[in-house]
Chain A
């Protein structure tokens, strides 16, 4: 299949950036990133600068790939990361526009690579539980109800890719933060620090310059792990509760 790619090229954070058009021949069994590999091989053989893009596991579980394909973070398929998007979902002769995730808190590093370290700092602010390390504990030593375990697991499916921020008209990171707060706060090991976690992670999210949630729910629709906005309501509950009852100021 022959495709026309309109790819965002930007030398560095200060560069204004522009679209460049490329022709690429791919086959329908390739993943989207493999198709970009083909483009890059041809660019390298022509001694041109390849298109920079983030990728790691290519199995849809690491959250590294990040690009907006034809106006949608991770492309047109529901619940699918860019690396798991296959070219069979496109047609011969298609023109595909590829842009980086855009948000003030996600500055472009180069081409399609954006700096998502803001998410790391939000995690450092509270996205953890404080327990002694050591031998793995027996998984059944703390019984947890099925409904609670399922909710926590659904939230834990968040891979922290940032598609929610890219899709949100407000560039809000509420879906990400709410997934982490829900995942940890629903389980007994995480409940101990739940109040402090909600307050600190939301504070850090605001510090990083993400927008505020206005319940558009575009995040939920574009999330490759289909994290529900129910988690945002849970975060709001946790946050409001913590604001009034937390032990610290």
Chain B
């Protein structure tokens, strides 16, 4: 969980950096050129396959862990359950699998909406082509703009980003504890970075649909 999680944490940074080009004021040119590069560059294709594999591995191992742990807890639960713990992430820690299932559903919807259209979408029917002087590229920007003028989708995306924030709030720190990196000097830094990351990255993703909705709707 830890190693695949750290890979996905790094992936989110790259993904957000790319996506923020949606907000540049050039009618989508830089984003569309970037999307075309991401969809066709052989090295990116290789990393992309690895990324899908790690997402699936994270989900499969996480589900196995959840089942093992449920079984270990036994059938009979406590009538009363109270904790002395004061840490803020215990609630998220106990529900990582449920948060993960929501995120998995989000990933499927998200891929169907954008990734599938970019890779396999029929030109003319699903996507249109644009030319910036260096050959035709698919106008993914227009597809994003069309999706994010739809309020239910905007709400869905923002809510899912909150869920990802909760998942990361526990996951970031937990990944380091699991690989044994716990140190009086570095653990407070990791804890701070984890909290900053789990707020800023999902926030960065969430402002994109909000801004599109406010500008285009």
Contact = CB atoms under 8 A, between A and B. Distances in A.
Interface of A: 6, 17, 19, 68, 70-72, 76, 78, 97, 99, 102-105, 167, 169-172, 209-218, 220-222, 229-230, 232-240
Interface string B161-188: 0000000001001100111111000000
Interface in B52-107: 65, 68-69, 71-74, 76-87, 90, 93-94, 96
Given A217-B90, A232-B177, A233-B177, A212 B68 contact: yes
A171 B84 contact: no
10 contacts: A68-B80, A76-B82, A102-B73, A169-B69, A214-B1, A214-B65, A215-B173, A221-B85, A229-B177, A240-B179
Given A104-B71, A211-B68, A212-B69, A218 B83 contact: yes
Given A70-B80, A78-B84, A237-B180, 14 more contacts: A68-B80, A71-B80, A71-B82, A97-B79, A170-B69, A170-B73, A171-B72, A211-B69, A211-B71, A212-B72, A214-B174, A216-B94, A222-B83, A229-B177
A167 B83 contact: yes
B74 A102 contact: yes
B90 to A, nearest CB: 5
B64 to A, nearest CB: 9
A68 B74 contact: no
Interface residues of B, number: 33
A215 B174 contact: yes
Nearest to B184: A230
A234 B78 contact: no
A19 B79 contact: yes
Contact of A99 (B80, B83, B170, B179): B80
Nearest to B77: A102
B181 A233 contact: yes
A103 B174 contact: no
Contacts of A239: 180
A212 B178 CA distance: 11
Contact of B96 (A68, A214, A232, A240): A214
Q: Choose among A104, A215, A216 the residue with the greatest number of B CB atoms under 10 Å from its CB.
A: A215
B17 to A, nearest CB: 29
A237 B90 CA distance: 23
Contacts of B81: 71
A215 B82 contact: no
B93 to A, nearest CB: 4
Contacts of B86: 221
B78 A102 contact: yes
A-B pairs, top 10 by smallest CB distance, nearest first, are A233-B182, A237-B180, A211-B72, A71-B80, A170-B69, A71-B82, A221-B85, A236-B180, A211-B69, A104-B74
B180 A234 contact: yes
Contacts of A103: 72-74
A240 B180 contact: yes
Contacts of B65: 212, 214
A238 B179 CA distance: 10
Given A171-B69, A212-B65, A236-B179, A217 B85 contact: yes
Given A102-B73, A104-B71, A170-B72, A97 B80 contact: yes
Contacts of A217: 85, 87, 90, 93
A221 B83 contact: yes
